[in-house]
Structure 1
Amino acid sequence: MSFWTWLFPRMQAAYTSPLSPEQAVQALRAVTARGNLTATGSVAGSISDKRVHLYHRTVMRNSFKPHFLGSLQATAQGCELRGAYALPPLVFVFMLFWLGFCVLWTTVAALQVGRLDLMLLPAVLPGLLMPCFGIGLLRLGHHLSSDDPTIVSRVIRRALQSPSA
């Protein structure tokens, strides 16, 4: 496993259904909490004809939890929901910015120092410690929500199971 894959895990998923794409959208909307801030232990998100965005809602806020982002495609047998569990796009971009800034800070500080002087070491330390903090946040968030893909998958499978859903 590469460092990138370890840091930003992404799990592909596909769900087949005998439902048409329109019926699948309605079935997924029926099991998805929307606009209810007090709904906990449920799956929340947004579903449209083109895009499905689902995540497990819990009492504890965790911006680093995996979200399911996918789309519905019609098949001969009904439809297929294809997507991946990954960090939300905004969080992913923020973490890239955070880690990139840390690398830039460390590089500039090291080039400004230009020589080994222990009195100038504090200028380099933030650029070394901040990525460790960011990586720790990513891994802690992933650990705290390690069962979220299983929960969301269970809800998706149940919703897409049959026309009576």
Structure 2
Amino acid sequence: MFRWIKNVWTGSEPVEFVSAFGMNESVERLRAATRRWSFPFATQECAAGTVKENRVSLQRVIPMVGNSFKPFFIGRFEQRQGKVVLRGRFTMMLLVKVFMAFWLGMLASFAVAGSVAAVASPKAAMFPLAAVGMMGFGVGLTALGQWFSRNDAAWLTHVMRTALQVLPDTATPSQGAGLAGQAASGKTPVFIYTLTGLFTLFGLLGIISAISGIQTYRGGPDGAVITHYANDTLRMVAGAGSIAMLGVALGIYRRMLFAWWSGFVLLAASMVYSIISPLVRTDLGDARVPAVVFGGISVVIGVFWGRWWHAQRHHFHD
């Protein structure tokens, strides 16, 4: 446990990349292989951060995926025996480490104080248990974040090795070809599974709605409000659309081109609806202007999603 905490705080062992180029060219090549900024404009996977001679800070950016516990490569270029060496280590962002240290330190203090209070009064017995539980939650969240980003170091290694044209026999042992091979392997992207699950869920819910005849369900303090379809035609349309959504889910899972095109159709339909709906509805009253503004914001978000979806074309085949 203590070794794990130490590794989280200090990061990996130092790693080195011996560049095949001079100092200026090494810096420029790595800078060209990465991006200075990523959020919120990244539409495809990239390495982003700062690349200078005296400081290199890079992270793996996956569109629509955030992870505060992922590793960064923090290092610098050095001149050694006539060769340019990029030296650094993979570690979490300093701000995250400071926050987690503060979080766990405060909870540890609460646990000690709560234990003292529990000795004096049994009614306070839950306080130290709650503090320990929150500490466990923090440790578990950190471990989960690191598990999700377990391939980031290998991926960044591949980017830096490629940019600097590092020879296999000039890399440190921890930079073996196996890491680069993992990063370069054609594994199915995570978003494929995520979208498949979402489309499957919505498709199944739509089919259940069409079969039951319940169009919407809203619960509140005064009871539930259930809205049924106005006629059987709408139920059939809803059912057909849900079946089509399941077909798109299968297409996304199998990475078929029609599913990629279907994504644009759905985005376009949602943007058109966001614009037209506030203009034609008669029940909005004074809320029409906010609804129009919200519709405009929805269109902007849809355009952003469209840019990201367009960048995923290479994951789909005919």
TM-score (norm 1): 0.89
Whether 1:134 aligns to 2:138 is yes
Spell out the pairing of 1:14-29 with structure 2 (5 A cutoff): 14-29=16-31
Provide the C-alpha distance between the structure 1 equivalents of 2:100 and 2:134, rounded to a whole number of angstroms: 11
Aligned counterpart for 1:93 among listed residues 95, 98, 108:
98
Instruction: Report how far residue 120 of structure 1 moved.
Output: 1.4
Q: Aligned pairs, how many?
A: 161
Query: Counterpart amino acid of 2:29?
Result: A
What amino acid is aligned across from residue 58 of structure 2 in structure 1? L
Higher deviation after alignment, 5-14 or 24-33? 5-14
2:183 corresponds to: none
TM-score w.r.t. structure 2 length? 0.48
Which residue identity does 2:23 align to in structure 1? Answer: P
Partner of 2:124: 120
Give the deviation of 1:112 after TM superposition. 2.7
Conservation of the 8 A alpha-carbon contact between 1:7 and 1:135: no
- Offset at residue 76 of structure 1 (A): 3.0
Query: Which residue of 72, 77, 88 corresponds with 2:77?
Result: 72
3-state SS of the aligned residue for 2:58? strand
Residue of structure 2 in register with 1:155 after alignment: 159
The question of 1:35 aligning with 2:37 is answered yes
Give yes or no for contact 1:39–1:57 (8 Å, CA) kept in 2. Answer: no
Determine the C-alpha separation between the residues in 1 that align with 2:27 and 2:81: 17
> Bigger relative contact order, structure 1 or 2, given CA contacts below 8 A and separation 6+?
1
CA distance 1:61–1:39, shift in 2 (3 Å): same
Instruction: Give me the whole-angstrom Cα distance separating, in 1, the residues matched to 2:25 and 2:164.
Output: 9
- Contact 2:55 2:75 (8 Å CA) reproduced: yes
Matched, 1:103 2:105: no
Report the structure, 1 or 2, having the larger helix content.
2
Match of 1:5 in 2: 6
SS at match of 2:88: strand
Q: How far apart are the structure 1 equivalents of 2:137 and 2:33?
A: 36
Compare CA radii of gyration and give the structure with the larger one.
Answer: 2
User: How many angstroms does 1:50 deviate by?
Assistant: 0.6
Compared CA separation, residues 78 and 3, structure 1 to 2 (3 A): closer
Counterpart of 1:15 in structure 2: which amino acid?
Answer: F
Per-residue CA distance 1:58-77 (angstroms, 9 max, x = gap):
12100000000001101234
Question: How many Å apart are 1:4 and its aligned residue?
Answer: 2.2
Whole-Å Cα distance in 1 between the matches of residues 66 and 114 of structure 2?
Answer: 35
Q: How far apart in 1 are the matches of 2:154 and 2:57? A: 15
Quick one: distance in 1 between partners of 2:5 and 2:92? Answer: 13
SS in 1 for 2:67: coil
Aligned partners of 1:19, 1:39: CA distance in 2, in Å?
A: 30
Give unpaired runs (5+ residues) of structure 2. Answer: 167-318
Deviation at 1:3, TM superposition (A): 3.7
Whether the aligned pair in 2 keeps the contact of 1:33 and 1:39 (CA below 8 Å) is: no
Task: Give structure 1 stretches of 5+ with no counterpart.
Answer: none
